[in-house]
A and B are shown apart, each in its own frame.
Chain A
């Protein structure tokens, strides 16, 4: 019963279907393109959308980096990287600068990306309006009419109730001035990195069977109000390992008496920063 899998697991016809859907996604920035998502050998919700996009992109010369929570060594990132080195035999790296394709869950690397790089996001819920309106038939209509009043009301209610917008990740963005889009559950800290970025950004939602894209240098605006401008997270602390005061920090509990330390969530950035500091 043994058999050889095709390069990057998916058969070529499926890859072609994916590439067509991706081209459509790039042509209509932020629009969710329905696609014939396949059942992957990893569970839904664990990156099947991102994996399908990566599989459709990879060529034998690509260098792949996979991160989860900004880190290369989290179990799911390890597992997906291993999957591709097994079924595609491509080179892998942990260095952001060396990768041609970066698959990510929940973060955008701190190191700025270049035009010759593609960032692939794993997306659990592609519909930014889902928590406000569960019916797909309704949300599709709202997108068609660019009727995003519901989201603005939600943000306004946050301000009325808490004094500021109470969304800290998966913070809604308007892509190219047209489509309300989920940036995937990245912290809003990363939202500014989406705006007019040189790298192509592709989003895959396997379970929900949707793809979308933010092409290079596309305007990406985080929703806000004139008197309540968009703000990102800030820490009083610096990274305990590399001393960076610029990066997104993970909080680590070091004992049961309330002691905390903060370290970079981007492990590659942190490592490089330490090397530079030592030099």
Chain B
């Protein structure tokens, strides 16, 4: 005798216990501390803050621990928390020219004012697994400190009128994508906001496709810089600026060739990427995709996926994508049953049809059959 499946509630409770046990692992080992995570896994923390849209190293570290290191789950946890936070106001635009630079490289000039600064990078590590525990590192101080304010490489080109100018005055107030739905066509500020929250892997793949002939835009890494930037608010009721702290940002400005079009002369154009914490791969990918998405504005033919804003922006978000892909594991009995009965009808019909097709030609009329 069939008994209807009951006890979903108990099954869920047991599953949560199993998850907690699996997450904790061997209890003979101490539990990871939040500080250990944000000190020693800082790049993971940066990614979770960036795609979780919340700059808080401790909460990001907590989310990573709770998610057992699954970054997309940690991002989801942080987003779900963030959505409950009140919005006090908006900061003034952040001045990345005043960044206290820890790393700054340009692929376009051998040397630039302020110099090339490698900073902490995996670029030249040779990727040999290091089997030794990390010992104490002694840092040798530079002879002179870095310049306090490094001019942006692209501003140097701007002075020569070789690159499209940026008119900060004409920059419209951006919509807040966490409060307003994404509508198409989306302007550049909205697109950048979407890309900033977008999944790093997705953006990396889209960016890569632009380098392999799908919306080729001949990019150069004009400048990548990483360091601390002050966060400033100007409360309406006070009317003066207050510095409320500083956050680490990675900024990438790509320089792309442009043949001219849409009434614009041949010149270099810009692609822009920005990421919280150290997020160079993300910032570079974002800059390439940003440039590809500017095809309409620059009069370029839209022919590749990376240029299609509905395609890119509707599918960039890992929380949306992961939820919808994985919702397929929810019960679909009802729809499946509907499809089953439809398919049974169709297949009966097909069987009748195929048995009907080679209808034997009546034997009594051989002459007609021969003609």
Using CB atoms and an 8 Å cutoff, list the residues of chain A in contact with chain B: 1, 5-6, 9, 11, 34-41, 43-46, 48, 68-70, 73-79, 82, 105-107, 124, 134-137, 162-164, 166, 168-170, 185-189, 207, 209-210, 233, 235, 240-241, 248-252, 254, 261, 263, 265, 267
Contacts and interface: CB of A to CB of B under 8 A. Distances in A.
A38 B338 CA distance: 32
Interface stretch (B233-241, B282-290, B323-331): B323-331
Interface of B: 2, 4-9, 11-12, 59, 62, 76, 79-80, 82-84, 86, 178-185, 310, 314, 319-320, 322-327, 330-335, 337-342, 345-346, 349
Contacts, number: 148
A6 B83 CA distance: 12
Interface SS of chain B: helix
B178 to A, nearest CB: 8
Nearest to A46: B327
Given A36-B179, A79-B12, A187-B338, A44 B324 contact: yes
**Pairs A-B, 7 closest by C-beta atoms:** A44-B323, A45-B327, A43-B323, A168-B338, A45-B324, A209-B181, A78-B8
A44 B320 contact: yes
A75 B179 contact: no
Given A44-B319, A75-B11, A254-B2, A134 B310 contact: yes
In this complex, which of A35, A45, A210, A235 has the most chain B Cβ atoms within 10 angstroms of its Cβ? A45
Given A74-B331, A233-B341, A46 B319 contact: no
Contact of B4 (A34, A38, A40, A241): A241
Nearest to A77: B8
B145 to A, nearest CB: 38
Given A43-B323, A73-B7, A163 B86 contact: no
14 contacts: A36-B180, A36-B181, A39-B82, A39-B83, A40-B80, A43-B327, A68-B331, A69-B331, A69-B334, A78-B9, A135-B310, A168-B335, A168-B341, A265-B333
B330 A207 contact: no
A124 B323 CA distance: 11
